[in-house]
Amino acid sequence: MAKKSFFKLFAKNLKKSLGPGQYRANGINVSCVHCKHDWFEEGHAQLNTSLATFFNLDFANPTATILTCRQCGYVHWFYKKVNRID
């Protein structure tokens, strides 16, 4: 039951932006951990207090960057700034 409400919350906080692109995080080009593809859809999730607690991140206003693989759909979560390359 807790899992269900988590995903509901997740969907609500997920925002769409831009089209697919290539990204770099911490100076390294991002490639899919599953299929090695390098094109991603970018999204952002504002982690509210309950979500922040869920992830054990108890500090102010956390925002995660989400890169979803265009090929296999694997979802990569980044808790740091991710730069778009193109």
Q: What is the dihedral of CA 19, 78, 23, 26, to 10 degrees?
A: 160
From candidates 15, 17, 35, 49, binder to Zn ion by CB under 5 A: 35
Answer yes or no whether residue 37 interacts with Zn ion by CB under 5 A: yes
Query: Which residue stretch of 38-46, 47-55, 66-74, 76-84 sits at the interface with Zn ion (rule: CB under 5 A)?
Result: 66-74
Binding region for Zn ion (CB under 5 A) out of 4-12, 14-22, 63-71, 77-85: 63-71
Output the CA torsion 57→25→84→62 (10° steps): 10
